Structure 1
């Protein structure tokens, strides 16, 4: 019991610190201090800092999909709009300072394939998600739609750092409605 609580504390602290200071800007020492665990405890759970980054990204991705899944009714009139709203809520509550997955791609490009794979996998999963949504709604141009909505969400994420999550989401919902209207 105690071990998993410590692992959880390490993951939470690491995610917060990585998010606020970047992957390169945070060492294991700072994580152990702020999580109030011994250095050995980190190595009991994670083989390296890279391994810890991998676990943080996997956990963050799971949380992202929980946000979408809990908010998007597949059978609603427009699951696309709901997905954009859910993404906006995620940005506001979890991702107000830019995208951790993109940062991982930038920081670890070519250096650590597993980290890069997890981060890139998150992006392709978004594309697949919208393709499935389009198929379910009987849309013929599902690839176009999936690309447009993925681009819309990525743009919303980028604009969040400039104008804030609420404004960025407001604009993206308007755009989403336009896309939906033109593809019916």
Structure 2
């Protein structure tokens, strides 16, 4: 039983190193040798856990998604209007982190632009999850047809990520929060 802990620990080391490097430098630009050197893990160990670099990227994206899932689940416990606006408050905090480099999922979709590629599909699934979050909150508020407004809220969020990445983080999320409030009010919410 204790032998599984070191194996799990090495897998986490690889995954955490890959998460940082992929996010900071890009998926294609980050080579396996660099991940191995920075993680201190042997190549055999890498291939024991991940059959390919693509599999490692998929695992890294899944780990990022799991972190987001925790946040959105916590937000779903708030009253729905607050949950929607809290997304923008949290996003503002995220932009202020010193290692902010944009959205890992947008980067993945851009680098793996074929919509049928598993990495692109996984990035798209993450974005679908966010739209569903907004959709569910709007349903909780009693909006009969929340699809369009859910997408509009997501467009605000995605625009924040892109513009903060392109121009540097500032108050994009706070300004988008104001726009979200206007959209909610105009929907009678």
Q: TM-score, with normalisation over the residues of structure 2?
A: 0.89
Q: Is the 1:64–1:90 Cα contact (8 Å) retained in structure 2?
A: no
- Given the alignment, which residue of 88, 100, 105 partners 1:101? 105
Q: 1:182 to 1:95 in 2, by over 3 A?
A: farther
Q: Please identify which structure carries the higher helix content.
A: 1
1:78 aligned partner: 82
Q: Does 1:129 align with 2:153?
A: no
Question: Which has the higher mean CA deviation after the structures are superposed, 35-44 or 168-177?
Answer: 168-177
Matches within 5 A, 1:87-166: 87-93=91-97, 96-110=100-114, 113-166=117-170
Q: 1:71 to 1:92 in 2, by over 3 A?
A: farther
Instruction: Name structure 2 gaps, 5 residues minimum.
Output: none
Instruction: Name structure 1 gaps, 5 residues minimum.
Output: none
Tell me how many residue pairs correspond in the alignment. 184
Cα-to-partner distance string for 1:115-137 (whole Å, 9 max, x where unaligned):
11110101111111111111111
Q: TM-score, with normalisation over the residues of structure 1?
A: 0.91
**Aligned-residue CA RMSD (Å):** 2.0
> Deviating runs (4+, > 4 A) in structure 1?
none
CA distance in 2: counterparts of 1:135 and 1:22, whole angstroms: 37
